[in-house]
Chain A
Amino acid sequence: AQSVTQLGSHVSVSEGALVLLRCNYSSSVPPYLFWYVQYPNQGLQLLLKYTTGATLVKGINGFEAEFKKSETSFHLTKPSAHMSDAAEYFCAVSPMIYNQGGKLIFGQGTELSVKP
C-alpha cells in the first residue's frame, strides 16, 4: 500500500526566499513520485515527476525535487519564491507497477503563501 504525508498544511515565505515543501511517502513497491500545483478553482498541473534514473528532478517554473530513498522523501524546493507561486501543492505517489492501474495517492496538500 502507498501513502503520502505532506508536513505543514500551510507554508508562508517572503518573495525571493527559499521555498521548501516537504513530502514523505510510504510504498511497498518502487514508487513513481509527483508534485502537482493547483490554482484556485482549477485542475492540477504537473510540476515534476520522478520515475527512474537521476534522483534530482527539475520541473517547470524553477521547481525541483530530490528523491531520497533512504529517507522516503521527495521534498519540493525553489531557490527564490515569486508571488505567482502562491497556490496549493500536492505530492502524489503511484506504484511502479502498470497493472495496478496507475492510481495516484495524494498527500493532504500544502498551501503556499508568498508575502511581498
Chain B
Amino acid sequence: GAVVSQHPSWVICKSGTSVKIECRSLDFQATTMFWYRQFPKQSLMLMATSNEGSKATYEQGVEKDKFLINHASLTLSTLTVTSAHPEDSSFYICSARSGGARVNEQFFGPGTRLTVL
C-alpha cells in the first residue's frame, strides 16, 4: 500500500514552453501533497505544500506564478512549470501524506526528470 506515482518520469522540452507533472496517490487519499526539487548531488528542497481544494503554500523564494500547483482531488496534484527555461531543469519529486494514524509519514513518488533545452 501507500504507492505514489508520477507522470511523466522524464520530459525534455524547449525553452519557453510549459510542462505539467502529475502526482497521484494510487491506494490512499492524500490530504496533503508536497512538491520538492532536487539538483544533482544535492538534497531535496521543498517547493510547496498543497492541500486538497485549497491554494498551495509556497516556500520562500519559490515563484508561485512560475510553478503552478493544483490539488483538485484527494488523489491528484499537478505541478506546471510555466515558460520553462534551462535553469528549471531539475529532478522534481512529489510526496503524499494521508490523515489518520500515519499522518506524520510522507510517501514519495519516483520523481520526474525535467530537461529544458
A residues near B, CB below 8 A? 32, 36, 41-46, 49, 51, 90, 94, 96, 98, 101-104, 106-109, 111
Contact = CB atoms under 8 A, between A and B. Distances in A.
Given A102-B103, A108-B42, 4 more contacts: A42-B111, A43-B4, A51-B104, A109-B41
Interface in B88-117: 91, 93, 95, 97, 103-111, 113
B44 interface: yes
B109 A43 contact: yes
Contacts of A36: 108
B25 interface: no
Interface in B26-80: 32, 34, 41-44, 46, 49, 57
A104 B4 CA distance: 17
Interface size class of B (residues with CB under 8 A): 20 to 34
Nearest to A88: B41
B104 A32 contact: yes
Contacts of A109: 41-43
A46 B41 CA distance: 19
Contact of A44 (B49, B57, B104, B108): B108
A111 B37 CA distance: 18
Contacts of A94: 104
A26 to B, nearest CB: 16
B46 to A, nearest CB: 6
